[in-house]
Structure 1
Amino acid sequence: MSLIRQHNALPKAEIANRTGLSAQAVTVIIKRLEEEELLVRKTPQRGRVGQPLVPFSLNSEGAFGIGLKVGRRSFDLTLIDLNGNVRATLHENFQYPSVTKLLSFLEKGIEALTLGLSDKLRERIMGVGVATPYEIWSWAEEAGAPSNILDEWRDFDFTKGIKSIINLPVYVCNDDTAACSAELSFGNPGHFNDFMYVFIGTFIGGGVVINGSLLTGTRGNAGAIGSLPQPILNKQGQLSSQQLIMQSSLYILEKMLADAGYDGKALWQSSEYWGELGPTLDDWIDKVADGLAYAALCSMAIFDFEAIVIDGAIPVSVREKIIRATAEKISLADTRGLSPCQIVNGTIGGKAQSIGCANLPLLVNFSQDSQNLFN
């Protein structure tokens, strides 16, 4: 199923060739997946010698996943099908997240999310994936939230809270790891097997793909580039460090815009268009590119990635400027001993975290490496 997803549709002969399985084994597996309504037959491919080849693709209605994204400025509930199509979505903005707001959002949202599914299709919901920032309570000052409200998240049990509303398996992971899973499953047009994924949101974060599989890490925090300390010179000319999150995140741009007399809150209204933000935006893009170039060089030295994939809750035009600036800064660095690495666009966009967390139950049930996703 992972192979078919990657190629959209494949005939049995091609599946056998790519997997090394016998034709008989592939036939048995395909038959079972058809019976379970996870695969569908496509139009036969004619024009070759012998019998026409019949491609198989994933059945969109074979399975579904629900995703809950806990953001620092919003909650999202998303329902996707087996092919990653968004069937329904709910969104709620707020100044800062609280447990009380989340439970209220879930109470009214879960039922509304699944109204469009028949009873038969509701039985094919594989679980609820949760994407949440790592240690959300550690960033009260940066999020502009009361520390006592964020402290409530320390002891909150997502599994217990969600199962009190809908009795499904619950899978929790870092928000940007979830976004990375969306890129891996439904994007990745370059078919990269090894890449670092970057998501520019309220706080910047990332994910890691190795050998075509999502790497979550022993404690589920692989790819947390936001916490990467970057060496800087302070005003006294002394060497110190500053985490990447402090210069390459959207909340920094909001502050810069406010200082320049712009309405920084416009950033949270849409990830597709911000309007004219003047030289302040250019200054922020340069800061972001500095941080990303440093993070990319570090990761290239450790993992020898094929690509750095950059996405985020930002307009496409802004993302492309960041990619160009990052690539240029890397080209000016001393890269002796490092293999070349492509700096490319992500393909999912601002909803990557929401789609990614809804994808978690599908990955657990249908991924070739499901045992490595959650410990």
Structure 2
Amino acid sequence: MIRQQLKEFRSLQPANVDVIRSPRHGSGQADLRGYNERLILSVLRNHGPNAKAEIARITGLSAQSASVIMRKLEAEELIERCPPVRGKVGQPSVPMKLSPDGALFFGLKVGRRSADLVLVDFLGRTVDRRHLTYSYPDPDTALDFLRRAIDELTALLDQRQIKNIAGLGIALPGYLWEWSKIVRVPAERMDAWRDRDILLEIDALFDFPVYLQNDASCACGAELVFGDQDHPANFLYFYIGYFIGGGVVIDNALFTGSTGNSGALGPLPVPRKSGGVQQLIDVASLSCLEDMIIEAGGNSNDLWETSSSWRVDDAILRKWVDQTAGGLACAIVASCSIIDFEMVVIDGWLPEDVRRQLVERTKAKLAKLNLAGLVQPEIREGTIGPDARAMGAASLPLSQHFMVSPRGL
């Protein structure tokens, strides 16, 4: 019976084959939460507060089954009652909604120039966060930051909230040790990422389960789980951080492929103005903007301290936006030649006005390209913003414990 439940559970998860879970915690009772329980929780997440009768209709459950399950979820404080809604006749209905403190999740993003830890509630709202800027990432710095930040954030919670911490997700770039030249540090300082098992080290620090996924996939997952649900079933996602990355959503699920590397958009070849080709990562990354600032004699540290506003020379910023938009437009055409994406989402560690400029400029660049034989996709701003990677990390334990695959809705 247990083996069958585990098989069912795994088959119902979002397409997270690249999510690595700490082995020490195994598959506990929380993992075996019934499909129908997770189905109702997913419906409330995607559709908002609803009465039991409406939830039964949406899920296809009988009214009695839905009522029994919802009483159990209410007893576990995962859902709560809304004020009664009175109709013209009969008894008032009592909509149910997710309880904000029903479960809490930590999300850690380790980037090339900064780290972030967010505490997210059951509704996907950021309760609090901590930020660290550094010259380059090393495991000891990341672990020290994580320990300190979790201690600080946990100290702000009451005992019930602490008990409801359901896990920690980690968004980590792949092959960090290969980027020593680009982040301008000796190779031996980055080799620790190859030699140490960071997941096991972090797992040993805490009592809750720990999950790990590629940072760009996490950002795309955040858009899928926490973002605007008014999106087509298939879309392409770009996240612009120190390096550009992205994700592919097929049939409302994150598609990562057999190795977890699908949607690694940075290596896409795009034309070089002087002729030949170059990789998108060398055109449309914040590392390119940092190089422009340094070459002009400026200080690029402001880029990594905050994403709400930058002190960047207008001419430099315009040049970067223009070249990034050109690279994105070419990458979009190449990608849509393989899969007919209905929409492209662009987000990143960017101030809102810069993201808006970039989206508009990308639309203009795309309009000038030959799209014969292709349907031009809608280009849209992301709805999560700079914290998408950390938010996506927090969504990993949420997805594993409390959701069904979007295909099931």
What TM-score results when the alignment is normalised by the length of structure 2? Answer: 0.84
RMSD: 2.1
Whether the aligned pair in 2 keeps the contact of 1:134 and 1:221 (CA below 8 Å) is no
Alpha-carbon contact 2:307-2:350 (below 8 Å) kept: yes
Task: Tell me what 1:213 maps to.
Answer: 253
Between the aligned partners of 1:267 and 1:322, the Cα distance in structure 2 is 16
Q: 1:280 and 2:320 equivalent?
A: no
Structure-1 separation of matches of 2:261 and 2:89: 51
Q: Mark the CA change 1:42 to 1:322 in structure 2 (over 3 Å): closer, same or farther.
A: same
Alignment partner of 1:77 out of 99, 107, 117: 117
Bigger mean CA deviation after superposition, 42-51 or 298-307: 42-51
In the alignment, which residue of structure 1 is the partner of 2:45? Answer: 5
Post-superposition shift, 1:138?
Answer: 1.5
Verify: 1:163 aligned to 2:199, yes or no: no
Question: Which amino acid is the alignment partner of residue 122 of structure 2?
Answer: L
Contact (CA 8 Å) 1:77, 1:113: kept in 2 or not? no
1:212-291 alignment, distance < 5 Å: 212-232=252-272, 235=274, 237=275, 239=276, 241-291=277-327
1:139 is matched with 179
- Of 122, 126, 138, 1:98 maps to 138
TM-aligned CA deviation for residue 332 of structure 1: 2.1
Q: What is the match of residue 342 of structure 2?
A: 306
> How far apart, in 2, do the equivalents of 1:7 and 1:103 lie?
38
Counterparts of 1:86 and 1:225 in 2: how far apart (Å)? 28
Deviation at 1:119, TM superposition (A): 2.6
Distance in 2 separating the partners of 1:195 and 1:10 = 28
TM-fit CA distance, 1:13: 2.8
Q: Which runs of 4+ in 1 moved over 4 A?
A: none
CA 1:56/1:250 → structure 2, altered by over 3 Å: closer, same or farther? same
CA distance in 2, matches of 1:126, 1:155: 29
Q: How many angstroms apart in 2 are the aligned matches of 1:339 and 1:19?
A: 34
Q: Give CA-to-partner distance per residue, 1:20-65, whole Å, 9 cap, x none.
A: 3333332232222212211111123333544433222111111111
Call closer, same or farther: CA 1:295–1:22 in 2, change over 3 Å: farther
Maintained 8 Å contact 1:363/1:370: no
Structure 1's 333 and 22: CA in aligned 2 closer, same or farther, altered over 3 A? farther
DSSP-derived class of the 1:128 partner: strand
Number of the residue aligned with 2:11 = none
The change in CA–CA distance for 1:191 and 1:18 in structure 2 (over 3 A counts) is farther
Answer yes or no: is the 8 Å Cα contact 2:133–2:305 preserved in 1: no
Count of matched residue pairs:
368
Residue 336 of structure 1 corresponds to which residue in structure 2? 372
Quote how far apart the aligned CAs of 1:266 are. Answer: 2.2
Corresponding residue SS for 2:375: coil
Amino acid at match of 2:215: D
Give the corresponding residue for 1:111: 151
Q: Which amino acid aligns with 1:291?
A: G
191-200 or 309-318, larger mean C-alpha shift: 191-200
Q: Which residue of 1 aligns with 2:72?
A: 32
Aligned mate of 1:200, from 213, 235, 240: 240
Q: Structure 1 residues 262, 331: closer, same or farther in 2, change over 3 A?
A: same
Unaligned runs of 5+ in 1: none
Tell me the distance in 2 between the aligned counterparts of 1:178 and 1:228: 20
Q: Distance in 2 between matches of 1:51 and 1:304?
A: 49
**Distance in 2 between residues matched to 1:154 and 1:93, nearest whole Å:** 22
Distance 1:216 1:122, change over 3 A: farther
Q: 1:327-351: CA deviations, max 9, x gaps? A: 1222222223323311111122111
Distance 2:332 2:89 in 1: 49
Residue 276 of structure 1, CA deviation: 4.9
In structure 1, distance between residues paired with 2:150 and 2:350? 27
Which protein, 1 or 2, shows the higher relative CO under an 8 Å CA cutoff with sep ≥ 6? 2
1:362-373 alignment to 2 at 5 Å?
A: 362-369=398-405
How far apart are the structure 1 equivalents of 2:152 and 2:223?
27
Q: Which amino acid aligns with 1:45?
A: V
How far is the alpha carbon of 1:324 from its aligned partner? 0.7
Question: 2:234 touches 2:252 (CA, 8 Å); kept in 1?
Answer: yes
1:108 deviation in Å? 2.4
Among 53, 61, 80, the alignment partner of 2:101 is: 61
SS at 2:301 equivalent: helix
* Aligned mate of 1:130, from 170, 176, 180: 170
Q: TM-score, normalised by structure 1?
A: 0.91
